[in-house]
Amino acid sequence: MSPRTPRQFEEIREEKKTLIMNVALEHFADKGFHATTISHIAKHAGISKGLLYNYFKSKEELLEEIINRSATEIFYSLDIDRDGILSDYEFEHFIRNVFSILRENGQFWRLVLGIMLQGGVYEKLLGSGLKKEGPDGATLNEFWGNMIAMLQDYFKRKQKVHGDEYEPESEFLMFINIIKGFAITLLFADELYSDDSFEKTIKALLRRYK
């Protein structure tokens, strides 16, 4: 048997990290973030506690990585050409990508949302500084900030199309709230959306904001 290549070692490491995160996600959601220990996660992942610490220094770091990967999956498609300016095409691509991800991976996102709503978890996550690197080498906080700024700029540019009566800040806030409502309904009452009604809802969003 030939020795493993560096790429194979990296693939094995990523597989193990993903296993640990999947186990942690389930138990954070089931037992609660505060009640779940590193020892508990290691046991159910089938590895030693010491080995787990080779991948994650703490359960806070574990949660950071879960949120990091989740946010990256959704937001990295926002600015496809990486020029910092959101086009109409990129805006539509983002909307369709977000809700396709939520629809296809509903169980995962229900668990993530459930964890974030547990008392003190969101504050603990913010308190950690979210120092994990997101896409393009930015910290996760910087990454989120850049994405929000890009969306806000998109709505400001729409004022040239709609005229002075158009209020970009209000439209942006309304857009965010509609997106949240649609996402929650899609995750927790997905029976309301047939393929046809799902597509009609997407098109209604695009007619209003594109």
Q: What is the pLDDT of residue 131?
A: 52
- Tens-digit pLDDT profile for residues 48-98: 999 999 999 988 889 888 888 887 777 777 888 888 899 999 999 999 999
- Same structural domain, 73 and 91: yes
Average pLDDT, stretch 131-136? 51
Query: Does 102 have pLDDT greater than 80?
Result: yes
- Same structural domain, 50 and 68: no
What distance in Å separates the CA atoms of residue 160 and residue 57, rounded to the nearest whole number? Answer: 49
- Same structural domain, 183 and 199: yes
- Same structural domain, 23 and 66: no
> What is the domain count for the chain?
2
- Same structural domain, 49 and 113: no
Q: Of 56, 76, 98, which closes a domain?
A: 56
- Same structural domain, 123 and 111: yes
Q: Is 28 in a helix, a strand, or coil? A: helix
In this prediction the pTM is 0.76
Radius of gyration of the chain (CA): 20
Handedness of CA 208, 76, 153, 143 (dihedral sign): positive
Question: CATH number, domain at 69?
Answer: 1.10.357
Domain span holding position 35: 1-56
- Same structural domain, 36 and 127: no
- Same structural domain, 67 and 33: no
- Same structural domain, 178 and 201: yes
